């Protein structure tokens, strides 16, 4: 594929309600969209970084810099074959996985459009709908949390994840478990604990949770191993798994029993699929995480979650759980069985609404060969 032009869009989109985690509060979610123009087609990708370096060191600021100065020059005016070729070209750029993943997504969209195949088919998935749940942010009180969870359950979500942090852990989780004794429930700490403060999580071990996500520091697999040894509940890693190598090490040292796969965090769909394959071969369950994506990133997550090893419900909710107005014409709806349909059209299977895009664009830039 000849890469003619790359266009970047820095977006800010208001969330339907603020999303609070142990690392901060988001009311308007930022990201960078990448449009790659090639031989008359346009491929779209989403770089899922936010404004602040709370979840990841990457921000929309670092993304803009890395995309413009380092990633785009590896592609512009050149022939790029596929994701593998792309990864080889950007191998010299250390880190910046969220930025790389957005560009890889746009290349997959182009490949799919050229071959008239959906991203799901290109990746080798077979499901036409995937099991999903909802990730619920920290609320003002345990009762407010129970009310919020109750609303999502009546919307049809059959798996609930709640965010926790020190001081808002056992109390919140116990309140939700008491109110809903048999729902599929899990918690996410976004690395807010240390091995000693994780003592506060002990009561969660008897709440029949599906998993405890990323309790400890993102750069410490070994401490997760030590914690997993004293918990019956499976530990699931999110922030700690930035590559296939991390996934292999984490499984080998029993730092977790489940992995949350986010294509952004691991540097692209190709890397996400490789981690899926590794886990599937070892019968380790995986699920698709979310980053409050727009319709572009959501379409990509749904295609990935159609792979057979994604045996747990993903953090992929309906469009209206995040945004009143999205930038794709297509909106994703929750089916009554707590699934969402995987797009079937070529590539990502979604199209961008130019007027919505314009409304949420803070800055844009066109990159072409000089
Ligand atoms: O830790 O899984 C996380 C959102 C932004 C950054 C990190 C996380 C999340 C979520 C929301 O939990 C998942 C979603 O997109 O619904
Ligand atoms: Mg997480």
> Cα(367) to centroid of ligand 2, in Å?
33
100 flagged as catalytic: no
d(CA 183, CA 195): 28
301 in contact with ligand 1, CB cutoff 6 A = no
pTM of the model: 0.98
Query: For the stretch 308-335, what's the b/e string if a residue is b when 16 or more beta carbons lie within 10 angstroms of its beta carbon?
Result: ebbebbbbbbbbebbbeebbbebebebe
Q: Please, are residues 216 and 167 in contact by the beta-carbon 8 Å criterion? A: no
359 flagged as catalytic: no
Residue closest via CA to ligand 1's atom 4 equals 291
pLDDT recorded at residue 183: 98
Q: Please, are residues 294 and 327 in contact by the beta-carbon 8 Å criterion? A: yes
Burial class (CB in 10 A: 0-12, 13-18, 19+), 293: buried
- The 10s digit of each residue's pLDDT in 337-349 is 999 999 999 999 9
* Pairs from 222-226 (Cβ < 8 Å, separation ≥ 24): 222/253, 222/255, 223/194, 223/195, 224/250, 224/255, 224/256, 225/253, 225/254, 225/255, 226/195
Residue closest via CA to ligand 1's atom 1 equals 190
Q: Are strands 235-237 and 258-261 parallel, antiparallel or unpaired?
A: parallel
Q: Please, are residues 81 and 1 in contact by the beta-carbon 8 Å criterion? A: yes
- The 10s digit of each residue's pLDDT in 135-162 is 999 999 999 999 999 999 999 999 999 9
- The 10s digit of each residue's pLDDT in 179-216 is 999 999 999 999 999 999 999 999 999 999 999 999 99
Measured from the alpha carbon of residue 238, the closest ligand is 2
Atom of ligand 1 minimally distant from the CA of 317: 16
Q: Please, are residues 32 and 67 in contact by the beta-carbon 8 Å criterion? A: yes
Q: Please, are residues 39 and 110 in contact by the beta-carbon 8 Å criterion? A: no
pLDDT recorded at residue 219: 97
Q: Please, are residues 279 and 285 in contact by the beta-carbon 8 Å criterion? A: yes
> Cα(131) to centroid of ligand 2, in Å?
17
pLDDT recorded at residue 369: 81
**What is the average pLDDT value for the chain, to the nearest integer?**
98
Return the best residue to mutate from 51, 135, 136, 214 for the ligand 1 pocket (most ligand atoms within 8 A of CB): 135
Catalytic residue from among 100, 148, 161, 262: 262
322 phi/psi in degrees, rounded to 5:
-105, -50
> Cα(135) to centroid of ligand 1, in Å?
7
pLDDT recorded at residue 370: 61
Residue where the block lists tokens 């922030």: 239
């Amino acid at each position: 594929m000849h890469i003619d032009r790359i266009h970047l869009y820095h977006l800010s989109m208001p969330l339907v309600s603020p999303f609070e985690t142990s690392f901060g509060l988001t009311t308007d979610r930022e990201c960078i969209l990448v449009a790659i123009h090639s031989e008359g087609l346009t491929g779209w990708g989403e770089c899922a970084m936010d404004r602040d370096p709370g979840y990841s060191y990457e921000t929309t600021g670092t993304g803009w810099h890395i995309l413009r100065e380092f990633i785009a020059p590896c592609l512009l005016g050149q022939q790029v074959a596929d994701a593998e070729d792309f990864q080889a070209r950007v191998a010299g750029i250390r880190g910046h996985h969220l930025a790389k993943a957005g560009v890889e997504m746009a290349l997959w969209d182009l490949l799919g459009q050229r071959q008239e195949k959906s991203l799901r088919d290109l990746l080798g998935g077979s499901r036409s709908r995937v099991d999903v749940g909802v990730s619920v942010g920290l609320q003002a009180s345990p009762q407010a949390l129970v009310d919020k969870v109750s609303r999502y359950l009546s919307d049809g979500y059959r798996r609930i994840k709640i965010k926790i942090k020190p001081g808002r852990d056992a109390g919140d989780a116990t309140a939700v478990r008491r109110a809903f004794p048999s729902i599929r429930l899990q918690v996410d700490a976004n690395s807010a604990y240390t091995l000693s403060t994780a003592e506060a999580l002990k009561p969660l071990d008897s709440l029949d949770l599906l998993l405890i996500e990323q309790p400890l520091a993102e750069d410490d697999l070994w401490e997760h191993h030590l914690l997993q040894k004293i918990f019956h509940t499976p530990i699931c890693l999110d922030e700690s798994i930035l590559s296939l190598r991390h996934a292999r090490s984490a499984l080998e040292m029993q730092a977790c029993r489940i992995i949350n796969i986010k294509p952004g965090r691991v540097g692209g769909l190709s890397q996400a699929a490789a981690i899926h394959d590794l886990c599937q071969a070892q019968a380790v369950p995986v699920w698709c995480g979310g980053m409050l994506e727009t319709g572009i990133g959501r379409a990509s997550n749904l295609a990935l979650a159609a792979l057979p090893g994604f045996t747990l419900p993903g953090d992929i909710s309906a469009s209206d759980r995040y945004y009143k107005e999205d930038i794709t014409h297509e909106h994703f709806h929750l089916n009554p069985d707590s699934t969402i349909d995987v797009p079937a059209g070529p590539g990502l299977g979604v199209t961008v609404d130019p007027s919505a895009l314009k409304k949420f664009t803070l800055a844009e830039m066109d990159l072409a060969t000089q």
